[in-house]
Structure 1
Amino acid sequence: MRALLGALAEVPVLAQLGADAESVGRQGIHGSVALGPVGLSVASATLVIHPPALTDGTGQPVSIGPFQIGEIAASLTPPFGGGSGKGLPGGGAIVRLAGQGGYGGILQLPLGPAQVSAAAVLAMRDGSPSFLAILGITFIPPIQLSFGFSLDRVGGIVGLDRTTNTEALRAAVRTGSAGDVLFAARPPDSPLALVTAADRLFPAHHGTHLVGPSLKVSWLSFGPTGSLLSLDLAVVVEIPTGRVVILGVARASIPGLPGVLELRLDLLGVIDPVEALVSVDASLVDSHALGIFEVYGDAAMRFSWGTRGYTVVSVGGFYPGYNPEPAKLPALRRVGMALDVKLPILDVRAEGYFAITSNSVQFGGRLEIGISLGLEAHGFVQVDAIVVFRPFRFEARVSAGFDVSAGGFSFGGVRLDGLISGPGPVVIRGSLTIETFLFDISWDETFTLGSGPADTLPTPPSLLDVIREELGDPANTHADSVSDPDVVLAPRPGRAGVAAVPPTGTLRFEQRRAPLGLLVERVDGRLLAGPQGVRVTTPGADVTAPFSPGSYAALTDAEALNRPPYDVLTAGRVLSMADPGLVTFPNVPDARTVTQIVISSGRPRVTGMGAFLDVGHMALLTDASRRPPTLSDPRPVVTAERETWVAWTTATTHGFDSATAAHQFARHHGTVAVTEADFETPVSMAGVL
């Protein structure tokens, strides 16, 4: 019984369900018991194989099992009425997450003018527990604010050792399941489906936690029949990464007239300071208009302020064949509408897109109409256009067609395709095709207008000039250390563009346009004339910062997949003034006398008087004053060091502090790069086929 029921085998009434061993072996465990207001039900399956009947009458069914219980359900009778105690609504359910070592549950309680709903997941991951709870209180009737607005719902999310799975959330926005989990936008198919979806969207992750509020605001609410406009919104903060996730569901409908207008827009916004990226994804879900049209489409926005900043905004996708890299966007559906109910004589579909990137504007659309009246006629018009700012270029495509058929036999059709591009020169190309059931006529012609040169990018920059420009930027240089153990500095107001540093302090130069100390192929998104590198030879400590290798090195697809997205590379240098030699100071006799007083055990004692001091006492006192108190063994228990790399040529071996620098050296010297640990202890491949 413990193998089948787990910890619930300790409940006496449940243990009685397996008292009949013969029945359990033949049918498994099935039954329910009442424990006060809680009703528990369990079920386990048994596989029964029926062999084919033999001529001698043998061939009895064979039972395999019973199997371990995969789901345990519980119903809670609400103390305030409104439920039957057999499940939702007005009750709850607890389910066992098979194979995950955890449980999930949902609860709904009607509390007079409020409806409380909750979903929770408690699971074990790698021996440690993780918890997730999604709460909500719906007001009946809504709390009226002003100007027709009302507060319909408040709630929140709490997660311990949980994180946000942004990729799963983006996929869930497309289907609407993200809004279903957080806002109960649609009733769940089952308690197990709800808690499983919540566990997938906010999975367990040791060391990160989630917290955030949610609410629903409506405008012109008509009670149970709905509202004209409504917005569900949740703000989830991930601690300690600082990532902020904003989830929303916006609806527009006409209460009392279902099907006339039903629009639902699911939205996901992510502010990720680690990736220096703001992203927004939106999708139309279960949207309809006029009772016969389905409305669909996706939109996305990406804004990056990292080492290679970019901005991309798209509603409905991009110009055919356009790649929005370095932004990573999923395939976007065109925004449009189509007949949701198939009419016997008419089929209509219209869709379009509009996009703005850091260097282009794109737009286009397509309209299709089909008519069936014995004869079937189909026609379409499509326009796609793109304008690139630098180098300036434009391209527009126009297509139109019309065909007539009956019973699958084509009587004829016409198709026109046009293209205009420029400048330098402006090229116009057109093609016309006329199809009949007897013959086809085709025409294709290209026209050229003007002969001016095309716009070109400026001369590739020099990496040395780029770094020189960064050196001249005051924002990249500031005082790094102004501490002086022998001097107390008086505070003074700062001056823009001036870094005040005492002779004992240090000056810090740091820039993010290009990494230093290695060969790079591009900078600011533009290819250089060839591989170039800049190295700082001034004495001082390196300043490191995270860089994206793909923004500066021409990586192959395999390298881009296997290299880390960010690597810590040299970004600048800490500069300090050289200490002058003692011989530069004049030797001036000092006739003053000094009294040395040593305080020991709270009692002062004069140990010397005159021009000479006991240097030994002074050294001991100074050293003791600077040492921290010894509370325990100061040696670290665990230490972490950066992995070092090596690459070699026929003459020598070169060491590197980063994988990117080692691979760039190997790329341009025809060799390979390995970690220093692997280089020092190579593995013999003798005898390996």
Structure 2
Amino acid sequence: FGILAEIGWGTGDLFVLEAGLILELPEPWRLLLLGRLSSKITKKIGDKEIVVVKLDVNFKGELNFDDKYATFDAKVVKGSKVLMIDIRGDLAFRLTWGRESGFVISAGGFYPGWEPPTLGLPSYLVLDPEKMNKLELVIYEDNPTLKLSCYLAITSNTLQFGAALFFNYSWKFFHASAELGFDTIFFFSPFRFEAGLFAEVIVKAGDTTVAKVDLSGVLGGPSPWRFDGEATFSIWIFDYTVSVHKEWGDQDETRLDSIEAQPLLVEALHDPRNWQALPPPGRQQLVFLREQDNEQQEEQEVLRMQPEGALSVSQSVLPLELRLDKVGDQPVSGQREFAVDALVNGQAVGMDTRNDEFAPGQFLKFTKDEKVALPPYERFRSGGALQRDALIRSSLYREKEAAYEMKVYDSGRAVPRAEAPPEEETRFNRQLEGGSLRQSELGKMASTGRADFERAAFAEKQYAIVLAEGLSEFADVNRYRKGGNAMNRSEATALIRRIEEEQPELEDRLTLLPVGG
């Protein structure tokens, strides 16, 4: 169900908001917003009425309580203008706070070549840079054409902005065009940035290029600073290109100091705050634990758990089951890959995986191009939880023979006591079906093996390492990692580099293939 509303302010069409608010339930619980915002400001000069501002914006939004995300999209419709300048472009907002948390805000697009994070959203809600229209101010649109385009984007780990000025003029069969612009991206963790400048001037006679000047340059850093630039000059069929590649400044010396990762992980696993007693998944609980105040918990540092609950540990210091190249800016020495297993009464038991968000660039080495293309955060294993059937065990038990006493009464005459026949296992188990123990939560779980299922969720996008020729699966991947040939993009990219280092004959012969998500 929902409501529709129209709100107007001022005389005429000065400000009009038309919106619909829709609530969808019971499942999924979603709040939808649809609407249109329009504004028109005019000024009368003499006998003419001049449009000063004309704005039309269509928008839609969604707040999903079950899948834990919020989205908002807006489009400035063509025909909107301020004075004589046309305005158009797209705006987008994405926020998730569930299994994968993060946010993306964009007005007009993103840095060229940068791929927005999926944030675990449905595919139709993932932002596509190629489909987003830049914010444009069109000063002249006919002949000549003069327009300014720009964008601004903010994500969990980046700040991006850029602008470009475009000019075009035609006279008879001559055409001249020019473009000047820049693109900039800042990465917060680890800090680095890239700034690119480009310029182009073309003069054509019909379809023939008479003269052309093309300039481009990218500055990146710090530690060290790098500049890559290229200039091309063309006159008719003659071309001349000049390239510049410079690198200066000292490497950050702190990156050369190695660090042992194992003590960091051990310290995190000893932190009581990383351990959690999960409640039983069902609504009925066998017992209720008395709550303790914060002072008691800090003094005892004891984790209390329901009899049919689960024990979970998850840390955010470093990802597990991943070969680490570094921690922060420091290379790793000693053990580089870690896993967490569990023992109950000296026996290995199964564990459910626990994942958390990690910045791949803090633990893996990537090239400059890979850093731009890869998502800033991805999910890696951070710990595990003991499965409930593994916890409901005990070495403390007593054996007792199941027997009963038999007495016979007949017409008041005393009858000698008779020996009870031995209990049959089949009949004994049948008699237990209605007993209080079998009807308890533990008894039901043991007898039926029922499981509580989580709600369906969108799978994370996974990649497999395959041979570039024929796209057949790379069979030796199990030599390098546990868990098979399905992993996130950052791990797969780093693993290809490791394989190529150990097997040089495979260089440039391996690639990634999406296998899920």
TM-score, L = length of structure 1: 0.44
CA contact (8 A) 1:525 1:551 kept: no
> Structure 1's 404 and 520: CA in aligned 2 closer, same or farther, altered over 3 A?
closer
**Hey, what's the Cα distance between the residues in 2 that align with 1:483 and 1:382?**
64
Q: Aligned in 2, Cα 1:427/1:480: closer, same or farther, shift over 3 Å?
A: closer
Shift of 1:262: 2.7
Deviation at 1:391, TM superposition (A): 2.9
TM-aligned CA deviation for residue 439 of structure 1: 4.5
Distance 1:346 1:504 in 2: 75
Query: Could you say which residue in structure 2 is the equivalent of 1:431?
Result: 230
Matched-pair contact (CA < 8 Å) for 1:243–1:273 = yes
**Identical-residue share of aligned pairs (%):** 19
What's 1:477 paired with?
276
Deviations 1:450-476 (A, max 9, x none): 233498699798589547625514364
Q: Show the counterpart of 1:352.
A: 150
Q: Helix, strand or coil: the match of 2:268?
A: helix
Q: CA deviation at 1:428?
A: 2.7
Q: Give the corresponding residue for 1:289.
A: 81
Is residue 2:385 matched to residue 1:571?
yes
C-alpha separation between the residues in 2 aligned to 1:240 and 1:433? 59
For each residue in 1:629-686, what CA deviation from the matched residue of structure 2 results, as whole angstroms up to 9, or x when unmatched? Answer: 9xxxx99xx997699xxxxxxxxxxxxxxxx9xxxxx96369999xxxxxxxxxxxxx
Is this contact kept in 2: 1:233–1:249, CA < 8 A?
no
Residue in structure 2 matched with residue 495 of structure 1 by the alignment: 294
Q: Given residue 533 of structure 1, which amino acid in structure 2 is its aligned partner?
A: A
Listed as ranges, the gaps of 5+ residues in structure 2 are 44-48, 120-125, 365-378, 399-430, 454-461, 463-475, 485-517
1:510 counterpart letter in structure 2: S
Which aligned pairs between 1:265-276 and structure 2 lie closer than 5 A?
A: 265-276=57-68
Preserved contact between residue 313 and residue 384 of structure 2 (Cα < 8 Å): no
- Amino acid of the structure 2 residue aligned with 1:380: E
For the pair 1:217 / 2:7, whether they are aligned, the reply is: yes
Structure-1 separation of matches of 2:178 and 2:35: 38
Tell me, in whole angstroms, the C-alpha distance in 1 between the residues paired with 2:101 and 2:260.
18
Letter in 1 for 2:311: F
Displacement after TM superposition at 1:381 (Å): 0.5
Task: Identify which of 446, 450, 457 aligns with 2:245.
Answer: 446
**Which residue in the other structure is 2:218 paired with?**
419
State how far apart, in whole Å, the 1-side matches of 2:292 and 2:189 are.
44
Amino acid at match of 1:286: K
| Alpha-carbon offset, residue 307 of structure 1 | 4.1
Secondary structure of the equivalent of 1:319? coil
Tell me, yes or no, if structure 1 residue 380 matches structure 2 residue 194: no
Match of 1:538 in 2: 344
Would you say 1:251 and 2:38 are equivalent positions? yes
- For residues 600-611 of structure 1, the aligned pairs below 5 Å read none
Paired with 2:22 and 2:337, the residues of 1 have a C-alpha distance of: 45
Aligned match for 2:23, one of 236, 244, 253: 236
Q: Distance in 1 between matches of 2:202 and 2:153?
A: 32
359-368 vs 412-421, greater mean Cα deviation:
412-421
In 2, are the aligned partners of 1:238 and 1:244 still within 8 Å (CA)? no
**Is 1:509 matched up with 2:308?**
no
The letter for the 1-side match of 2:188 is F
Measured after TM superposition, the shift of residue 330 of structure 1 is 2.1
- Offset at residue 424 of structure 1 (A): 2.9
User: Matched residues in 2 for 1:230 and 1:504: separation?
Assistant: 53
Deviation per residue, 1:167-223 (Å, 9 max, x gap): xxxxxxxxxxxxxxxxxxxxxxxxxxxxxxxxxxxxxxxxxxxx3333232332x2x
Cα distance, 1:523 vs structure 2: 13
In structure 2, relative to structure 1, the CA distance for the partners of 1:668 and 1:234 (3 Å cut) is same
- What's the C-alpha RMSD, in Å, of the aligned pairs? 5.5
The DSSP-based 3-state class of the residue aligned with 2:294 is: coil
Task: Provide closer, same or farther for how the CA distance between residues 240 and 524 of structure 1 changes in structure 2, counting only shifts above 3 A.
Answer: farther
Aligned length: 381
Matches of 1:242 and 1:250 in 2, distance apart? 26
**Structure 1 residue 368: Cα displacement:** 0.5
Distance 1:357 1:521 in 2: 27
| 1:235-290: CA deviation from partner (whole Å, max 9, x where unpaired) | 43342222333334322322686864332233333333444433333222234215
TM-score (norm 2): 0.56
1:668 partnered with 2:517: no
359 and 546 in structure 1: CA distance in 2 versus 1, 3 angstrom threshold:
same
SS at match of 1:402: strand
Kept in 2, the 8 Å contact 1:536–1:573? The answer is no
Find out whether 1:333 has 2:133 as its counterpart: yes
Unaligned runs of 5+ in 1: 1-210, 555-564, 583-619, 644-659, 661-665, 674-689
- Shift of residue 425 of structure 1? 2.4
Alignment of 1:365 onto 2:179: no
Counterpart AA for 1:536? A
| 8 Å CA contact retained: 2:16, 2:37 | yes
Within 1, Cα distance between the matches of 2:177 and 2:148? 14
Q: Using the alignment, how far apart are the partners of 2:34 and 2:327 within structure 1?
A: 33
Instruction: List per-residue Cα deviations over 1:534-578 (Å, max 9, x = no partner).
Output: 1111359978578599999x9xxxxxxxxxx999x9534676897
Q: Partners of 1:242 and 1:454 in 2: how far apart?
A: 52
Aligned pairs (5 A) from 1:592-607: none
* d(CA) in 1 for partners of 2:226, 2:209: 34
Residue of structure 2 equivalent to 1:317? 109
CA change 1:435–1:212 in 2 (3 A) is same
Secondary structure, aligned partner of 2:54 = strand
- Describe the superposition over 1:130-154 as per-residue Cα deviations: whole angstroms up to 9, x where unpaired: xxxxxxxxxxxxxxxxxxxxxxxxx
User: Residue 324 of structure 1 aligns to a residue in which SS?
Assistant: coil
Aligned equivalents of 2:158, 2:336: Cα separation in 1: 27
How far the C-alpha of 1:370 sits from its partner, in A, is: 1.7
> 1:293 and 1:255 mapped to 2: Cα distance?
15
Would you say the 8 A contact 2:279–2:305 is kept in 1?
no
Cα distance in 2, alignment partners of residues 272 and 454 from structure 1: 47
Change (3 A) 1:340 1:459: farther
Match of 1:285, SS state, is strand
